[in-house]
Chain A
Amino acid sequence: MQLSVREVVYRYPRGDHHVLAGVSCDVPAGTTAAIIGPSGSGKTTLLSLMGHLLPLQEGEIVAIDAHGREHSLAETASWVLQTVSLLPDRSAADNVALGAYSDGATRADAAVRARKCLAAVGLAGRDNDAARILSGGEAQRVAIARALASHRPIILADEPTGQLDATTSARVLEAMIGAHGERTVVIVTHDPEVAARCDLVFELRDGLIHEKSRA
């Protein structure tokens, strides 16, 4: 599913300038795109607008299917958040199952998907551990597994490997970007190695977006 961002303008209610001043870009279906830029350049804001975590002020962000029909990203995208947002008292598997439930999986199907996705991010056998006892890196991997458990065609990830070591980071990126061709993946990152693995790299600067290179 293609992701299309059209003339998006955003200014925080108490802000004195536009964080995004007319951003437009397209991420073709089945490709991976990295959004890079200095701190405060609006990367997380743009990703949050894509995923309806923030209300759009101006412009349009849509997902377009193979038949040209437009969809809301609220119904087509799953998330890996920068803030590791897990339900602390629920098990890792229960947290991952939320991703599966988002596209209508049954409990049995969600349990199977959860187990498989936890294994994909190196957390096999940790299904029943409560999220509150996981380390920061493990929690981040659970969050990635949760996004993978969803069959939604778009994944939006905000610094998904920020708390991971190089080996684990490579593994989860493989799991996420390895779905390449099946899903459209957008990653906000500071890590040049992560950006290098993506098909597209967009740089946000001074409220505008520039396509930097094509892998």
Chain B
Amino acid sequence: MSSRPWPLGLAVREGLATARTGRWTSLLVGLAVTWLVAAPGAADAVAVSGLIDDEQAWIDAGGHVYVVEGARTDEGQRPIPVDACESLRGMSGVLGAFALSRTQDSGTLSHIPAGRASLYDVSAGALPFLSAAPADGGVMLATSSFAERTGVVDGEIITVARRGPLGTEPALSDPLTARIVDTAIMGDEFDGALLVPSQLGLTAQSCYVQTDAAHDAAVVQVLPSLLAYEGDPAVANPRLFSSDFTVDYTHAYELRPLRWLWVPAAALLGLVWAMLQWFRRSHIAIYATFGMRAAPRLAMQLAEWGALAIFGVAWGWGIGVTGALALGAHPAQAVSQVSAHAILTIAGASMAVTLLGLRPVGTLLNSLKDR
């Protein structure tokens, strides 16, 4: 007699052989793994992609943009220091910032006298904020509706006639390069206006600040003090107001219910495996009758599970990613979410399989007689 029946390597080979010869049981487990990896992963990838699209639309409409204005005091509305506003651009978590003042003037293109538009003076930060390229000789930022109305095109050299109160003569600018910009991020009131960079003095009426999502709360907390004027803290208001009925994109990713789909998926796989082991309890009892103890039994079951799980995950991952892409998910999200769900589902199910494998075999005679 040998002193060591069922070494772990042999038990593992038995498990792999059972997986290979299992026919319907192996197919059942493999298919269960495949679909319980594919479906939750794909569903979550589609949901996350939708969330990203929605958040991007929200950002494009002015999400994470703050309009900072001076405090209202007995002396009236306080201004915003332009240099302080511009210096925010170098701050961590700030994507863009520029100062803005509405003027009493209106502007027209010298070659289209009828196309009168409101004029706003803005600081240099307006160009990167609105994704406008600089140009030699300076630029004039024209909103897209102004461009539609006047026919001016991006890059066109224009001269702006600036008109003050009635009765004053218009002042002609130097030739400027027209940049057509989308001002939706700043609000509807700028629709049809002209923004004139570098016409501001030391102060402005407001400062537009765009933050990244991760630093939003931290940045907005320090804006009043950073943009204070003569000791009076400024007031920062979000461009888009939120309420209980609007989506909180800062936490939407973490709070999405589909992220937990791997939990029921893993539980279901555990249940499938438990049912399989119950139906095959006589097989386990046969091994036990022929000397297989707890450790090799666990190794054998884990090897069988591992082989079927690898097969199922490979198919499930492929089907999940393909399905997610077909349903409109972003490629990066399809890969990352399906992979994450696959890993978590298999990890959870493997824990269940391990716990089931650690159960004692019970009375062998009952198991051998399937009772």
Contacts and interface: CB of A to CB of B under 8 A. Distances in A.
Interface in A82-102: 83, 85-87, 89-90, 94, 98-99, 101-102
A115 B13 CA distance: 19
B2 A83 contact: no
A99 B291 CA distance: 9
B17 A83 contact: no
Contacts of A53: 289, 363-365, 368
A51 B18 contact: no
B61 to A, nearest CB: 61
A51 B10 CA distance: 24
B289 A103 contact: no
User: Interface size for chain A: under 10, 10 to 19, 20 to 34, or 35 or more residues?
Assistant: 20 to 34
A67 to B, nearest CB: 14
Contact of B10 (A54, A81, A101, A130): A101
B159 to A, nearest CB: 88
A85 B281 CA distance: 11
B286 interface: yes
Contact of A101 (B17, B21, B290, B368): B290
B289 A75 contact: no
Contact of B2 (A78, A87, A105): A105
A126 interface: no
Given A78-B290, A94-B17, A83 B368 contact: yes
Chain B CB within 10 Å — which of A76, A102, A153 has the most?
Answer: A102
B287 A98 contact: yes
Size band of the interface chain B makes with A: 20 to 34
- Central interface residue in A75, A78, A101, A102, by most chain B CB within 10 Å: A101
B58 interface: no
A211 to B, nearest CB: 25
Interface string A128-171: 00100000000000000010001111000000000000000000
A116 interface: no
Interface string A1-40: 0000000000000000000000000000000000000000
Contacts of B1: 76, 103-104, 151-153
B285 interface: yes
A94 B355 CA distance: 27
Interface string B2-37: 111111001001000110011100000000000000
Contact of B282 (A54, A85, A90, A101): A85
Given A53-B289, A78-B290, A98-B290, A104 B365 contact: no
B283 interface: yes
29 contacts: A48-B364, A51-B289, A53-B289, A53-B364, A53-B365, A78-B290, A83-B368, A83-B369, A85-B282, A85-B289, A87-B18, A87-B283, A87-B286, A89-B22, A89-B23, A98-B287, A101-B5, A101-B6, A101-B290, A102-B5, A102-B291, A104-B1, A104-B3, A104-B4, A104-B5, A104-B6, A105-B2, A130-B21, A151-B1
